[in-house]
Amino acid sequence: MPFHATGLADVPDTLTGNCGDNPGIACRLAWDITHSTNAAQVVRVYLAGPVSEVLRILFVILVAFAIRAVAHRVINRLTERAATASLPVTPAIRPAVRAQRAAAVARAEDTIPPPTVGTERRGQRARALGSILRSGVSIVVFGIAALTILGDLGVNLTPLLLSTTVLGVALGFGAQNLVRDYLAGILMLVEDHYGVGDTINVKDASGTVEAMTLLTTRLRDVNGVVWHIRNGTIESVGNESQGWSRAVIDYPVPYGEDLARIRALMEQAAASLFRERRWRKLMLEQPEVWGAQELSSKEVTMRIVAKTAPMRQWEVARELRARVKAALDEAGVAPAGPDTIVITAPPAITSEDERGTSDDRPRAEGAPAPSGLTSEERARREGGA
């Protein structure tokens, strides 16, 4: 059946007259082969147009995937660099860094593998931020690609954008807590408040962080109870294991002791502990004796502190406390405490006859007084009777 298009009789019998000023490859090929106006118009309207639109859509999709792949590669490279890079050393923290290096040398000599908690934590944080950035890039790139494709297909984007705006506002009002939890989780990751493995205090809960997402934080306390806390409800958090910890020992000594001598003995005990490799690898600096912390009429509380690796302060404090006690005992320093110790003895066990003649029971007239009384008390009782 021959094809008849409206106005074909007025179309000049030329390539540009049938295929337009910019003829496509398909229309040009059809005209060159057939020199038929009907064939050129069919190819131009029903073949070249849809194929061109499909190719344009495919091109947009390919460009979107290429941009997404490049952005993801850049994000992954930055993430891995942030996860493995060492922190910059400032003049204010150089002594601590030197102590850490010394501890690392001692650890290597003891053939003990170095702790990787800080590195793993930084790596987890960097990879979590990288995942968020990759998701955001994918949403933005594919969203722009979808809008571009809809525009090429002739869809009016104004109502769509308006409806999307209204929907976004509605979701924002309806899911305020959800949005707040997400934003709080992102900020906690960016600012590195805490991470998996840290010991934190949050409101009524205190324990070790087992998992952390953008919505909630899961931690387990010392009793084994698992707490699930929404990130948006966390207003303040105390991190006990970030960077370093400190062992604080308050040791009481008698009031009359020479505090300079006590300080010297404590410093000797602390130095002996720091010289041992087993304990030096847990401490970042040599322990310090801060001096008199509290005073009373009978004792003086001396304070000694030690800067340790995260979450190792308790074992260092126990050992340091034992070393200080041994040093003071060897020097003849008496332990602080009350001057008099009162020991209460249990009541004496009476015989069966004495139990039967208790003062609480009535006695017959002329009966002898209960045993255990002095002669004066017995005479006084008999006289009163």
Does one domain contain both 201 and 317? no
Does one domain contain both 181 and 219? yes
Q: How confident is the model at residue 9 (pLDDT cuts 50, 70, 90)?
A: very low
Does one domain contain both 230 and 249? no
| Residue 296: φ, ψ to 5° | -145, 180
Give the per-residue pLDDT at 369.
Answer: 46
Calculate mean pLDDT across residues 22-45.
Answer: 64
Asked if residue 233 has pLDDT above 80, the reply is yes
CB atoms within 10 A of CB 323: 22
CA-wise closest residue to 215 among 227, 232, 236: 232
Q: Give the count of domains, the chain.
A: 3
Asked if residue 114 has pLDDT above 70, the reply is no
Q: Of the spans 46-60, 212-226, 327-341, which averages the highest pLDDT?
A: 212-226
pLDDT digits (tens, 9 = 90+) for 309-361: 888 888 999 999 999 999 999 988 888 765 544 455 555 555 445 444 444 44
Asked if residue 147 has pLDDT above 80, the reply is yes
H or E segment and range at residue 209: strand 205-212
Query: Tell me, what CATH number does 270's domain have?
Result: 3.30.70.100
Does one domain contain both 66 and 175? no
Q: How confident is the model at residue 187 (pLDDT cuts 50, 70, 90)?
A: confident
Residue 363 lies in a domain: no
| Structural domain for 238, as ranges | 156-242
Cα 316 to Cα 301: distance, rounded to the nearest angstrom: 19
Does one domain contain both 33 and 120? yes
Cα 210 to Cα 148: distance, rounded to the nearest angstrom: 44
Does one domain contain both 167 and 44? no
Does one domain contain both 1 and 131? yes
pLDDT digits (tens, 9 = 90+) for 118-140: 566 667 777 777 888 888 889 88
Does one domain contain both 38 and 78? yes
Does one domain contain both 160 and 227? yes
Cα 365 to Cα 370: distance, rounded to the nearest angstrom: 13
Give the per-residue pLDDT at 338.
Answer: 58
Give the per-residue pLDDT at 67.
Answer: 93
Q: What is the mean pLDDT of the chain?
A: 74
Asked if residue 158 has pLDDT above 90, the reply is no
Q: How confident is the model at residue 96 (pLDDT cuts 50, 70, 90)?
A: very low
